[in-house]
Amino acid sequence: MSHHGWADEGFGALADEFARNFAERGELGAALAVFVDGRKVADLWGGIADDRTGRAWTEDTVLPVMSCTKALVSISAHLLAQQGRLDLDAPVADYWPEFAQHGKERITTRMVLAHTAGIPLAERRLTFEELTARTPVIRALEEQPPLWEPGTAYDYHAHAFGYIVGEVVRRITGLRPGAHFRRIIGDELGLRTWLGMPEEEISQLAGSSRPRGGPRRRPPTRCSYGR
């Protein structure tokens, strides 16, 4: 399996190990960039981006980064706090009044950022179409009671974090979190990073693949949470 890119002197072992993922470990497609003290010292990619078509992974291939998107909405929230537009210790309901239901009146944005808010998910069942429409998830989170006393315990808010912090961002700025991120960071720095994939980039998107020998995953149709 071919691989491409470069590595600075002293990082050849890293490039060799990356190549072994394809030659020995059955890697389908991957990319790796390494920075040291702000300087890029390795930029590697290889394999295929879509195992259905055999499309090769290129330098411009983009891919879902899943929960790394939490960092994008977190940065957006912290910049609003830095600007004095968001008080992380004020109730979320100060910015999003409909959130103040069923014992969530005192939940703060800081609690959500710290995964202690008590609402790691929305328990109401939502269709895949509702999840991607976003607004139904917001309504479900408004109706969701905390699963424990907010601020007293930790559990990874995998499925509600982005929706809650993102809605606070939207209520303050009037922009959806993806549009706000592009305006304040993405466009300014020329990043190919989005919350919400632009139509023109879809052809460059790497597809997900089931593990070899693992069970075939059914297409997502119903889900009890939103990410």
CATH number at residue 80: 3.40.710.10
Q: What is the pLDDT of residue 210?
A: 57
- Identity at 31, one-letter amino acid code: A
The confidence score (pLDDT) of residue 76 equals 96
Reduced to 3 states (helix: H, G, I; strand: E, B; else coil), residue 31 is strand
Three-class SS of residue 223? Answer: strand
User: Which residues are catalytically annotated?
Assistant: 67
Total count of domains within the chain: 2
Token pair 């052809």 is found at 203
pLDDT value, residue 10: 93
Examine the domain organization and report whether 48 and 96 are in the same domain. no
pTM for this one? Answer: 0.82
pLDDT of 51? 84
Give the residues of the chain that fall short of pLDDT 50.
1, 214-227
Q: Give a yes or no: residue 219 inside a domain.
A: no
Do 94 and 173 fall into the same domain? yes
Q: How far apart are CA 221 and CA 69, in angstroms?
A: 22
Tokens standing for residue 222: 């119903």
Instruction: Looking at the structure, tell me whether residues 83 and 184 fall in a common domain.
Output: yes
Task: State whether 115 and 184 are in the same domain.
Answer: yes
- Do 54 and 81 lie in one domain? The reply is no
Task: Show the domain range for 71.
Answer: 67-189
Do 28 and 98 lie in one domain? The reply is no
In this structure, are 54 and 127 located in the same domain?
no
Yes or no: say if 99 and 141 are a contact pair by the CB < 8 Å rule: yes
**CB atoms inside a 10 Å sphere around CB 68:** 9
Shared domain for 34 and 131, answered yes or no, is no
| pLDDT in the model for residue 101 | 94
113 plus 185 within the same structural domain: yes
Placement of tokens 């939207």 in the chain: 170
b/e per residue 90-114 (b: at least 16 CB within 10 A) = ebbbebbeebbeeebeebbbbbbbe
**Residue 181: inside a domain, yes or no?**
yes
Tell me: do 86 and 159 sit in the same domain. yes
> Is 195 inside any structural domain?
no
For residues 43 and 85, state if they share a domain. Answer: no
* 75 and 115 co-located in one domain: yes
Domain membership flag for residue 76: yes
